[in-house]
Structure 1
Amino acid sequence: MMMHAGDLKRRFFVCLVLAVPVLLLSPMMGIELPFQLSFPGSPWIVAALSTVLYGFGGKPFLTGAVQELKARRPAMMTLIALGITTAYAYSMYAFVANEILRSPDHVMDFFWELATLIVIMLLGHWIEMRATASAGDALQKMAELLPAKASVRQADGSFEEVDIDQLETGQTVMVKPGEKIPADGVIEQGETTVNESLVTGEARAIAKKADSKVVGGSQNGNGTILVQVTGTGESGYLAQVMQLVSTAQGEKTKAESLADKVARLLFYAAVAAGLASLVAWYIATRNFGTAITFMVTVFVIACPHALGLAIPLVKARSTSIGAKNGLLLRHRQALEAMRNAAVVMMDKTGTLTEGAFKVIDVVSADPGRTSDEALAIMAGLEAGSSHPLAESITALASTKGIEAAPIANGHAIPGAGVGGTLADGTETLLVNARYLDEQSIAYDPALLNDAAKGSYTVSYLVIDGKVSGAIAQGDEIKGSAREAVRGMKERGLVPVMLTGDNESVASAVAADLGIETYRASLRPEDKERIVREYQRNGNVVVMVGDGINDAPSLARADVGVAIGAGTDVAVDSADAVLVRSDPVDVLRLYDLAKSTARKTTQNLWWGAGYNIVAIPLAAGVLAPIGIVLSPAVGAVLMSLSTVIVAVNALTLTIDR
């Protein structure tokens, strides 16, 4: 049951105000307390205030109980509803008997217990709602990736802008430089580069030309293209990814908390014990009033005061500790699942690596030219380009104080690199190895070290038809990534790397980090499928990612962990967020989950343990030998268990 924190807060404070006079004017389970007052008409005030408390304060629990019973899965809400309904109904019966019918035998009421139970339960649920960050709308943010309008070719050859929802398959749209592609399609005309990070997770431009497929929502580069639409609406690729996220989130919300399982068992135990005591005491005494009193006492004592606070208090404490350590817990069941984790799947770019291209090495193959002089020519060729590779070259030159060489006639070579003319009229290029092979230009593959060739992008400087230098660029591995992988193995977790990058890069990064299992060239649906495969084999899966392409797998995993520097879509699909974008924080999250699980179990035993002892005694199991749990003793035990769970929750710390 999803209850708004603001509504719970309002109900809590209103009920707290209403409960004060009830506590002052009514006895605690039949026992007059020193601070209590009584005057003519006070029982009427108590009955009226209790009716408001039951209807207004108890509404969330009564509504939740109805939903649980409809689903045939009674849990915490049903147990609370049983307690407050029994306490209210029997107390109103006692009020009528004592104040209206003036029965000679005073009937004990439970107004005091009703008020305290409703206030404590509202407080517990409000604490839990505040402790959990509000979930964002991942699907809405994914929908916003598509532009609002598209430029569609008309019958006369002109182009007219239409709303995106009016696009139809077969139409041709024009996409200008820098615009987002409005729908899935195939390029009819033009050449460009496209940033498909929402598909691959790799923030680099992909060369596209006629007959190349493009995905709606991806970013067009510096060329104008005409695209024939092949998929719109529900048939589009982005819509299919959104459906994956929606389905995974819906299935994950069905997960059941440990507290609900315990509450279900207590509900059945309380109902069974209460009915059994009713029958047994009626048979023994032939007095229905006595039998009813025992049954009601069982139901009221079963009210989960301590149990209702046991989990919210631990959750609030763990959320606070997590926040101080850069861990934001967004969904209540994240830590419960995290403690049983077996496999940690991690995206590469932005998670294990920095997620930004940097120059790793620059060399000159011309004895008469230094590497800095080669870098100056490269910076001149890339001046004015917004391509990630170009930006890292110009940034390095600027950092080193190297002035870019003047280049004339600069132009892009689609799918290969850039070209231009030096001041002396010499033709120069900065291209990839594939272009050299196609043009039969000789080069030494060992010009850069082997590591650069394996895990980085290498471009070659060609001057007057000869290779005169080379530059290696790539995404640097985060300094803490190795420590994170090592820590996972020490804790018995299996690290798995999932990436949209190619096999050679993935292999090099995995080997460097010590990750034995990795999968490359993955699309969003591939990652989500792999998560499901591991789950079907009985593994509790943690997925760590930062990109739009990680959203389906983050939502599907038992615990989705988003890197704080990642996209809003990834964050909104996750159960927890690593604010510092540090993969080592996955270990802290795991250790916090273990500590929280230990405290949760302890508190559940304290909260439920009271009921395990109190319910049978309240039912009169030991009455034949003269031992009966009086209402006063039951109230003391109830209060004591509540204090214990509160103190125990405050001692929570991270294990390591």
Structure 2
Amino acid sequence: MENQVLSIRGMTCAACAKRIEKTVTKLSGVGQASVNLASEKLFIEYNDTVNLDMIKEAVTKIGYEVVEKTASSKTDTVDEDRKRKQKEIKTLWTKFIISAVFALPLLYIAMAPMITWVRLPFPDALDPMNYPLIYALVELILVIPVICVGYKFYTIGYKSLIQRSPNMDSLIAIGTSAAVLYSLYNTWQITNGNFNAVDALYYETAGVIITLILLGKSLEAVSKGRTSEAIKKLMGLAPKTAIIIYQGIEKEIPIDEVEIGDIIIVKPGSKIPVDGTVIDGYTAIDESMLTGESMPVDKKSGDTVYAASLNTTGIIQFRAEKIGSDTALAQIIKLVEDAQGSKAPIAHLADVVSGYFVPIVCAIAVIAGIAWYIGTRDLEFALTIFISVLVIACPCALGLATPTAIMVGTGKGAENGILIKGGEALETAHKINTIVFDKTGTITEGKPTVTDILTTQGILADNLLQITASAENSSEHPLGQAIVQGAKDKGLEILKVNNFESLTGRGIEASIDGRIILAGNRKLMEERGISLAELEDDSDRLAEEGKTPMYIAINEKLAGIVAVADVVKKSSKAAIESLHKMGIEVAMITGDNKKTAAAIAKQVGIDRVLAEVLPQDKSNEVKKLQNEGRKVAMVGDGINDAPALAQADIGIAIGSGTDVAIESADIVLMHSDLMDVPAAIELSKKTIYNIRQNLFWAFGYNTVGIPVAAGVLHLFGGPLLNPIIGAAAMSLSSVSVLTNALRLRKFKPTYGERKVRE
């Protein structure tokens, strides 16, 4: 089976995505087809019995466009896709502005004469009572540009209707067409002397609906335009060139020309170009861009190095073993792409219902019109019934129900430092019942800090810290730098050091005021014959707490221990307690050993610990939880978290994390405060409840209004619904939906009292 990804244009809702999937899977030889509506991509799996051209033809045949790749490289393709989306966004905004320019005066002209309790400025020459024809023609002239700008609603909507696959565009097309056609009919009535027909003009209904829908489409396009940024940033991590040893001399070549077996030299401050094994030299490499772990890893001959990681201290030579798509970075990129592709688009209720709603409304309108014509032999009366049904079924409230609540909800989130990337994330977050936190940089601060100072020989803690920091001041090792920073934070003076020596893989040796200072690990102390018995129990306790003990000896005698660890954030425990109150299970995932992970988990109250997890396996751990039937959110900050963020039902990135994590996530916490995680979940729940209320009102008006418009009450001697009342009911439904959505502006997180931050 072969896998392929195609870019699709022309989709407007979940119904379109489902239609493409259904069409493609019908082809013999196609195993799976999944459409990601947000990224506008079709992920397909097929065998030799079908070719790509046949798949493209099938998609084109049902009215969608397959975008051909013309760029030479994958990075160029991403750039090309980004430019295309930016052009699409610009086009939609332009259309919205043009339609608004004509729709606003149209709305004013239509509504001003009807408002009797306050006298609004209005030209006498347009007075509908005195100059009804001029009034009607001005409205017609104003609505024509709006219809022209929104022509795609009609071409796509009616085409989908003809192909028996109606979508939201079909609803928009029918509703606005009914309003315009009925208004044209009444304009013609005015020309024939029936001046009362001026009260039955609904040009503004069509104009305002199209303008509002264009606004929604523009905002949706902006959200979709960001989908390729994560992949682009990942690709940009690897260096463009590599320095190889060729015939005994250094030669810089493009990264694409590196071959397996090449000897590559990497100097301090440079990135590792490809994966390989060190053959000469010693250094510390910052792998946080891939592993998420903050402390650089010591590398010597025989150790593995990874593309895009940063060489911090020494010069090394290594043999290239994995290049191109085989590197760890390339695998992470692929995982992100696969995870994004596996996400099924959220089926919006309005889109699903519209598939049934449109044909039902049309059928009711036609049946009611014919029935009343047969019963009354009055064509105008029957036409009024037909138009009334269509006008009251106008999709304005239905179209506004979801986007208005989402717009207010996401806006309120932004006020609280919670950036939610579009409606899909907001809709999914309320279902979350399991949250997985990355450890380093998420639950913890992400940088080593001095946590404990234990002394012997009657030495004061500050004196030991001062001596150790002075000795480590010439070291570039991150643990040593953490101790130096700890001394500076306490205002301790850094003493003059003589005869500094770095002891590879063990620690350092220095001379201060005639005293020989040793600072390093257990191996260094054992080599020098220094007994650790006095602090053995304390050392074991520190290790169990997830801390790294550094032993300090003065003149060949143990002086104490300075412990360094990545400390837990102040907000972590409170955030996890809040999530427990919401009934959400909390897990922690890390590459650290089980003992260290368990120590951190105990401090903050984690329910489940996933330790010693390799970077490429984090997304698999998320998938395992999903296979248990759980709705999973992933919270992280490193590039290694990107595949898991994409795989999770909701990816939540810490704002202080890497750009790639932020781009891969659905929600970004700009304050880097974990208290914002329960706040984001709560905001989602409130918004979804609001959306359900909106949809209830939107459908409620239609459920009650359509039978009345069809003349059910009139049949029993009751009133007949005039199209004017139908339009008023439609407007009222829109107002109620908007008013209800605006209530979200009063949202305050129950768990969002940032006492820790303050």
Question: 1:591 — aligned with what?
Answer: 682
Provide Cα deviations, 1:332-388, integer angstroms capped at 9, x if missing partner. 2222111111001111111111112110112223x1543333323321331133432
Aligned partner (choices 454, 469, 473) of residue 363 of structure 1: 454
| Cα shift at 1:423 | 4.8
Distance 1:94 1:260 in 2: 32
Q: How many residues align?
A: 649
| Cα shift at 1:597 | 1.7
| Cα shift at 1:255 | 2.1
Cα 1:579–1:265, aligned 2, differ >3 Å: closer, same or farther?
Answer: farther
| Cα shift at 1:175 | 0.6
Question: 2:46 — aligned with what?
Answer: none
Instruction: Tell me the amino acid that sits aligned with residue 115 of structure 1.
Output: G
Question: 1:51 — aligned with what?
Answer: 144
TM-score normalised by length of structure 1: 0.88
Which residues in structure 2 correspond to 1:126-141 (within 5 Å)?
Answer: 137-141=229-233
Which residues in structure 2 correspond to 1:56-67 (within 5 Å)?
Answer: 56-59=149-152, 61-62=153-154, 65=157
Which residues in structure 2 correspond to 1:419-458 (within 5 Å)?
Answer: 419-424=509-514, 426=516, 428-436=517-525, 442-444=531-533, 445-448=536-539, 450-451=541-542, 453-458=544-549
1:394 aligns with 2:484: yes
Range 190-199 or range 37-46, more displaced: 37-46
Distance 1:46 1:550 in 2: 56
Secondary structure class of the residue paired with 2:259 = coil
Cα 1:455–1:275, aligned 2, differ >3 Å: closer, same or farther?
Answer: farther
Work out whether residues 75 and 264 of structure 1, in 8 Å CA contact, stay in contact via their aligned partners in 2.
Answer: yes
Provide Cα deviations, 1:314-339, integer angstroms capped at 9, x if missing partner. 22322232222221222222221111
Range 127-136 or range 432-441, more displaced: 127-136
Aligned partner (choices 70, 83, 93) of residue 175 of structure 2: 83
| Cα shift at 1:554 | 1.2
Cα 1:178–1:633, aligned 2, differ >3 Å: closer, same or farther?
Answer: same
Cα 1:24–1:363, aligned 2, differ >3 Å: closer, same or farther?
Answer: closer
Question: 1:114 — aligned with what?
Answer: 206
Secondary structure class of the residue paired with 1:527 = helix
Instruction: Tell me the amino acid that sits aligned with residue 377 of structure 1.
Output: I
1:159 aligns with 2:258: no
Range 255-264 or range 233-242, more displaced: 255-264
Question: 1:11 — aligned with what?
Answer: 95
Which residues in structure 2 correspond to 1:243-258 (within 5 Å)?
Answer: 243-252=334-343, 254-258=345-349
| Cα shift at 1:499 | 1.2
Provide Cα deviations, 1:140-173, integer angstroms capped at 9, x if missing partner. 221221112111222x121211222332332221
Instruction: Tell me the amino acid that sits aligned with residue 142 of structure 1.
Output: L
Cα 1:73–1:476, aligned 2, differ >3 Å: closer, same or farther?
Answer: farther
Aligned partner (choices 236, 256, 276) of residue 327 of structure 2: 236
Question: 1:417 — aligned with what?
Answer: 507
Cα 1:238–1:284, aligned 2, differ >3 Å: closer, same or farther?
Answer: farther
Secondary structure class of the residue paired with 2:431 = coil
Distance 1:110 1:143 in 2: 53
Cα 1:24–1:342, aligned 2, differ >3 Å: closer, same or farther?
Answer: closer
| Cα shift at 1:23 | 4.9
Aligned partner (choices 355, 360, 375) of residue 465 of structure 2: 375
Question: 2:739 — aligned with what?
Answer: 647
Question: 1:189 — aligned with what?
Answer: 280
Range 628-637 or range 111-120, more displaced: 111-120
Provide Cα deviations, 1:106-149, integer angstroms capped at 9, x if missing partner. 89764332123223333455577789996671122212211121
Instruction: Tell me the amino acid that sits aligned with residue 379 of structure 1.
Output: A
Distance 1:590 1:647 in 2: 23
Question: 2:43 — aligned with what?
Answer: none
Identity %, equivalent residues? 36
Distance 1:439 1:71 in 2: 85
Instruction: Tell me the amino acid that sits aligned with residue 431 of structure 1.
Output: G
Question: 1:514 — aligned with what?
Answer: 605
Distance 2:93 2:229 in 1: 23
Distance 1:218 1:531 in 2: 25
Which residues in structure 2 correspond to 1:92-491 (within 5 Å)?
Answer: 110-125=202-217, 137-154=229-246, 156-252=247-343, 254-278=345-369, 280-281=371-372, 284=375, 294-365=385-456, 367=457, 369-424=459-514, 426=516, 428-436=517-525, 442-444=531-533, 445-448=536-539, 450-451=541-542, 453-491=544-582
Q: Any unmatched runs of 5+ in structure 1?
A: none
Question: 1:523 — aligned with what?
Answer: 614
Cα 1:284–1:199, aligned 2, differ >3 Å: closer, same or farther?
Answer: same
Question: 2:35 — aligned with what?
Answer: none
Range 242-251 or range 34-43, more displaced: 34-43
Cα 1:94–1:159, aligned 2, differ >3 Å: closer, same or farther?
Answer: farther
Q: Any unmatched runs of 5+ in structure 2?
A: 1-11, 13-37, 39-84, 117-121, 751-758
Distance 2:95 2:609 in 1: 51
Distance 1:534 1:451 in 2: 32
Cα RMSD between the aligned structures? 3.5
Work out whether residues 165 and 233 of structure 1, in 8 Å CA contact, stay in contact via their aligned partners in 2.
Answer: yes
1:498 aligns with 2:582: no
Distance 1:70 1:467 in 2: 87
